[in-house]
Structure 1
Amino acid sequence: MERSFAEGGERALEGAFALHGGLVYTFCRRAVGESLAEDITQEVFIRAYRNRAQFKPERGTLAGWLIGIAKNRIVDHFRSEQRHASRRGGHEHAESAVESQIEQTGERLIIAEALLRLPERARSVIKLRYFDDLTHHQIADRLSMPIGTVKSDLRRGLAQIRRQLESAHE
């Protein structure tokens, strides 16, 4: 799917939207509310399609790349709103705080999406390690797995999540 998106075609856009439209919309809705979320989501996919040659599957996932585009579009929206507010004599919000909040929301969604895409065993290991704060030995005991397998699953799963986060920051 990701390679076909980079190569183009209307079906590629439809497929990307079918796979990742919900993720992008959720991110936009959390950042700007329902009234603007649909418009920004559409803009994200239009921009992504127009700039599809810039997407490099070997550098990260399509989901991460789309969230990166969405973050930029949302930040642009808030900057525009701040310019309009300052012209009207309104109070300016701290731009860096808004951008930081958008960044954190985007990263949480990318991590959640990446976790869903992991094999069940790796997802379980990561959840036990980072959500339940268990040690490698405790995870191995709980899942009846060798400690080396726990460490390998953890390392590979985190690498996959890292690739998605990196693709969102490009």
Structure 2
Amino acid sequence: MSSDAELIGRSLHGDTDAFVEVISRHESAIGSYLARRVGRQIAEDVLGDVWVAAYASRASYDSSYPGARPWLYGVALNRVRQHWRSEPEEDPAPDVARMASGWDPWPAVDTRVDAQASLRAALARLRPEEREVLGLVAWEDLATDYDRKLMAAARLAAKGDLEAARNAMVNGAGCCWALGGSPAEQEKAWARGQEERAEVFRKKGMPVPPAKPRPTGKEQEDGINNTLWSNTTYALFIGAANAEVRAGVLKLLATIEDVTVDKADVGGQTVLKLTAAPPVSSGEGAHVVTVDAGNGLPIRSEVVPAQGEQDPHSVADYRSSWVNLADIAAGKI
């Protein structure tokens, strides 16, 4: 599969469908981020603005980066700021208010402390750029129905029902596969997905690209496996604190034919390297996720370009630690 950078490049030469593919890859994540920042109803309108702005500015995209999601988050953030500037200034820090009141990560805490006030006070002490990072990493990653569905699918896999868990993981994003459904249900889901993307273009007065037929054969298998890999590794990163989620993730990844699992030693630590081949990773190279062999905690995520490719070797390292509300309120985080 082509990288986001390649698709954006093709769109600059008249291939509108290529940019639609970029949208389809990231619309769930960007839509969820917007919902956390401005609310679900407003987010639907702002999301359309994001795609229009991204399409209009795509010539400025740095093609040395194969993945466009960080760039799209930046476009989305600019649209959110424009939305805030258009609202009456009723609060000196409206972004903090929304972040503190829009999501309660500890439902039981309400019976013991005023979590909203404590959290809001802690957030207010952060610099604006620090609040943005927290909003992207913590709020966006932990606050959506999408996240809960994916972690529930991982836990289901840990309990042994791999087929049901695989279907739930692939369908968790509300995508167009309808895995496990009847052929009629799958066709309906695909058509619905195509129509939803077309509606984004209609709302903003952009040319609507022709609908694509539902893939079959190897193309369908690769598409489903890509969704499974993406959703499952995402569940690992956001649900790493849950041992059941970690166990279920490993079981699900082992069902993908184009994913290999190798044991290695890194700095004296025994690890497992989970490698997704290009058909699964949506790129010309491989995506490698490294986890602790003893407990399954994520250690590293890296994109390794194919030999001779110019794409950069992208690496993200992960650390695991325990935090609590008291530490946040005390400004220790």
TM-score, normalized by the shorter chain, greater than 0.5: yes
Q: Where does residue 7 of structure 1 map in the other structure?
A: 10
Deviations 1:36-71 (A, max 9, x none): 111111111111111111112323621121111111
- Identify if the C-alpha distance between structure 1 residues 160 and 117 changes in structure 2 by more than 3 Å, giving closer, same or farther: farther
In terms of fraction of residues, the more helix-rich structure is 1
* CA distance in structure 2 between the partners assigned to 1:110 and 1:16 by the alignment: 20
When normalised by structure 2's length, the TM-score is: 0.34
CA contact (8 A) 1:118 1:157 kept: no
Tell whether 2:271 aligns with 1:150: yes
Deviations 1:97-147 (A, max 9, x none): 4655454232344798xxx64996xx96x789x647xxxxxxxxxx99332
Tell whether 2:92 aligns with 1:93: yes
Matching residue within 97, 101, 104 for 2:134:
104
- Identify if the C-alpha distance between structure 1 residues 64 and 161 changes in structure 2 by more than 3 Å, giving closer, same or farther: farther
Q: Where does residue 74 of structure 2 map in the other structure?
A: 68
Q: Where does residue 39 of structure 1 map in the other structure?
A: 45
CA RMSD in angstroms comes to 4.0
Aligned residues: 141
* CA distance in structure 1 between the partners assigned to 2:21 and 2:74 by the alignment: 19
CA contact (8 A) 1:71 1:103 kept: no
CA contact (8 A) 1:6 1:56 kept: no
* CA distance in structure 1 between the partners assigned to 2:262 and 2:92 by the alignment: 51
CA contact (8 A) 1:24 1:66 kept: yes
Tell whether 2:58 aligns with 1:52: yes
Choose 1 or 2 for highest CA Rg: 2
SS in 2 for 1:147: strand
Q: Structure 1: which amino acid aligns with 2:57?
A: N
- Identify if the C-alpha distance between structure 1 residues 127 and 76 changes in structure 2 by more than 3 Å, giving closer, same or farther: closer
Q: Where does residue 28 of structure 2 map in the other structure?
A: 22
Gaps of 5+ in 1: 86-90, 133-142, 163-170
- Identify if the C-alpha distance between structure 1 residues 24 and 95 changes in structure 2 by more than 3 Å, giving closer, same or farther: same
CA contact (8 A) 2:262 2:272 kept: no
CA contact (8 A) 1:28 1:37 kept: yes
In terms of fraction of residues, the more strand-rich structure is 2
* CA distance in structure 1 between the partners assigned to 2:95 and 2:44 by the alignment: 25
Deviations 1:25-46 (A, max 9, x none): 1111111112211111111111
* CA distance in structure 2 between the partners assigned to 1:105 and 1:30 by the alignment: 8
Identity across the alignment (%): 20
Deviations 1:77-102 (A, max 9, x none): 11221xx33xxxxx333267465545
SS in 1 for 2:91: coil
CA contact (8 A) 1:13 1:45 kept: no
- Identify if the C-alpha distance between structure 1 residues 49 and 31 changes in structure 2 by more than 3 Å, giving closer, same or farther: same
* CA distance in structure 1 between the partners assigned to 2:263 and 2:238 by the alignment: 15
* CA distance in structure 2 between the partners assigned to 1:39 and 1:50 by the alignment: 17
CA contact (8 A) 2:7 2:19 kept: no
- Identify if the C-alpha distance between structure 1 residues 155 and 19 changes in structure 2 by more than 3 Å, giving closer, same or farther: closer
